Amino acid sequence: MDIDKLKFEKLGEKERKLLLTALDFNPNKLKCKYCKKKVDYKICGIMPPLKKGAFGIITCDNLLCISHYLDEYHDLKGQRE
């Protein structure tokens, strides 16, 4: 995954629920990976996985949590180079 190609897109409720189900997440029991806050599927962030075998990472709508994800990505990218 190239962070420069990462795009933020809005999905409708039906599309979000379908994507979360396809990624093996229960749309009604989501928690932000970083702050552990319960998050509604209508506003959660569905981020690409950083580890092999993972399906994705759920974040809340807090910019600090999204920044934490991006920091982890940069750290991981640095280890690969």
pTM comes to 0.82
Q: What's the pLDDT tens digit per position in 23-46? A: 999 999 999 999 999 999 999 999
Residue of 15, 44, 13, 8 lying closest to 29 (CA atoms): 44
| 11 Cβ contact partners less than 8 Å away, ≥ 6 residues apart | 19
Q: How far apart are CA 57 and CA 5, in angstroms?
A: 17
Q: How far apart are CA 81 and CA 7, in angstroms?
A: 23
Residue of 49, 26, 47, 50 lying closest to 38 (CA atoms): 26
Looking at residue 57, its pLDDT comes to 95
Q: Are 61 and 45 in contact (CB under 8 A)?
A: yes
